[in-house]
Structure 1
């Protein structure tokens, strides 16, 4: 990580939010970035959340779910007030967020996107989300995550 940090860490600092940087050695052979993070950081996979970009009707949106589950696209569409949602094109997700796949953070994206956070986040004192690059997670309170992303909380994991 550069001395300036990532857009996500800078956004958290600017907002005055308490957070902890949780870095680990990323294995380029890892097939699941989120499960890799949970294992490397010795954290319950239900407490580590992955950031997924979806195409909902006319625009991109962010869905944040535990790495231990997948996104329920129908529930995500409903939470976003859309007719349908599908996984976004990976290249479009990278362009829209300014982050690489496996390092997309729900915080500090190039543009604000509608965000839905799985309701299980509220079960934890703190959750972990990507910090904006592979091998970097950020630990923060679920409420700070919700507030910073202007997130909608809904049952979107399955």
Structure 2
């Protein structure tokens, strides 16, 4: 990220609010995000465990679904990027704490040790982690666009990645015959 030292805004710090709710849409969008996070967490919990108990299996069964669920339920457009009193840009968090984001960030590293999962499950876990962190960053970077368009699209991606396992969900079975 580039840090731009801009002059401090004129007037008192509260003369222009950094965030304004999107009437009628924000609550609905954030509620759907929380539901999508719960669905994704349940899918992760439904994945098979390792043949031998170990830290990676426990992490996948507990920490990762908890982080997915927590992040999607904690989304807050008011925690967006903003300018500090000294004129420096402050990165927003989208409402999600650093610990939760760090759990999501290590998914690619942990999957190399989850050898009992299929490549399809690996890809889908990567997609879930990416969709969640992407939703958080989108909300922090541009809450207006996120609420009006982005969060719903990211939730659709999250739902697709976290669909139940089984032959009815394979790509070829969902295609129509001509």
**1 or 2, which has the higher helix percentage?**
2
User: Taking structure 2 as the reference length, what is the TM-score of the superposition?
Assistant: 0.24
Pair member with larger Rg = 2
User: Taking structure 1 as the reference length, what is the TM-score of the superposition?
Assistant: 0.26
